[in-house]
Structure 1
Amino acid sequence: MTQDYTSRVIWTGNLGTGTSGYRAYARSWDVAVPGKPVIHCSNDPLLGGDPTKMNPEDLLLSALSACHMLWFLHYAAENGLVVSSYEDRPLGLARHGKGGAGQFLSARLRTVITLQPGADTALADQLHQRIGEVCFIARSVNFPVHHDPRYLSAEA
C-alpha cells in the first residue's frame, strides 16, 4: 500500500529584487499544508537565516522525535504501561562542510516520561527499542537514532 503526502513550500523572502544578489533576498518561506496552520520558516542562522523561525533541521529533528513519541504511546497503551506525561529534548549532531553543505551524523532522543507508580521501566526500555522498526521517520533517515529515556513516577 502506498500513500501520498503533500505540502506547499512558498518562498516569502523576496525583498523587492528577487535573487539579484546573494544578500538581496531573505532565506524565509512558509510551509502550508491544506487545512493546517502555516509554519513560518527560515534557513539555519549559520547560513543567514532568522533564528526566531523553524529551519529544516529543526523540522526534521522534531518530526523524528514526534514519530518516536507517538509509537511509544501506542506501544505503552497496548502493553498496559500508563504514561501520564512525555517530553523530549532531542539533540541532533550535524557536520557542516564547505559552502554550507552538511548532514546529520546522529540524533539522540532525551525523553522524560512519567509513568504510573510501580510501572515496569524494563518494559518501557524494550518498547523504545522496537520503535526503530516501525517509525516512519526513523526508518527514512540515514543516521543512527539513540535513546536516553528517563522515567519519573506519577504522584499517587
Structure 2
Amino acid sequence: MATHDYTSRIVWTGNTGEGTRSYRGYARTWEIAVPGKPVVECSNDPLLGGDPGKMNPEDLLLSALSACHMLWYLHYASEAGIVVTAYEDCPVGAGEIGPGGAGRFTAVELRPVIALAPGADLAVAEAIHHRIHAVCFIARSVAFPVTYAPRFEVGR
C-alpha cells in the first residue's frame, strides 16, 4: 500500500499578553498555514466563546467531508457519462456534548444539489453517491455515519 504525508502549520494567535495565565485571559484563535496557500484564520466554536466570523474545527471537518465527497462524485459521474454542470452542498453535522463538555459528531448528512445535463440517467446519478464512502479519504477516516440526501436538477 502506498503511503504519503500531509502537512500543515497551526499557529496560535490568541496570546493577549499574558499567555494562558488565566482561562479567560487568552483567545481561542489560530491560523492554518500550509506552505504556498492562503492563511486561514480560525477560532473555536461560537458555543464555546469563539469568533463566529472565523472557521472552527467543526466547520473544517464538515467542509472537508463534503468536498471529498463532491470530488469523488464528479470523478465517478465523468466516468459514467453523467454530465454535471453545477454542484452545491449544504451539509449538516449533528453533534453532542457529553458530561464534562467533551463533544463529538454523531452523524453528518450531505445534501448536495446537483445540476445535470439533459438526458442524464437519474438512477445512475443517484447510485454514484453510495460508492463514494468506500474511497473518500475523509469519509473513511471518520467514526460517525455519513448519509446522503441529494437533489438533482436536470437541464440547468
Same fold (TM over 0.5): yes
The Cα shift of 1:47 comes to 1.0
Cα distance in 1 for partners of 2:55, 2:25 equals 21
Cα distance in 1 for partners of 2:59, 2:19 equals 26
Size of the alignment, in residue pairs?
155
Cα distance in 2 for partners of 1:147, 1:77 equals 19
Cα distance in 2 for partners of 1:12, 1:76 equals 42
Match of residue 124 from structure 2: 123
**Secondary structure of 1:69's aligned partner:** helix
Cα distance in 2 for partners of 1:97, 1:24 equals 25
CA contact (8 A) 1:47 1:100 kept: no
Cα distance in 2 for partners of 1:69, 1:136 equals 12
Q: Percent identity among equivalent residues? A: 66
The Cα shift of 1:150 comes to 0.2
For normalisation by structure 1, the TM-score amounts to 0.97
Q: Summarize the alignment of residues 18-57 of structure 1 with structure 2, pairs less than 5 Å apart.
A: 18-57=19-58
Cα distance in 1 for partners of 2:49, 2:99 equals 15
**Secondary structure of 1:64's aligned partner:** helix
Cα distance in 2 for partners of 1:116, 1:100 equals 47
Match of residue 101 from structure 1: 102
**Secondary structure of 1:62's aligned partner:** helix
Q: Structure 1: which 5+ runs fail to align? A: none
Match of residue 92 from structure 2: 91
For normalisation by structure 2, the TM-score amounts to 0.97
Q: RMSD of aligned C-alpha atoms? A: 0.8
CA contact (8 A) 1:107 1:146 kept: yes
Cα distance in 2 for partners of 1:100, 1:52 equals 23
Query: What one-letter code is carried by the residue in structure 1 that aligns with 2:132?
Result: I
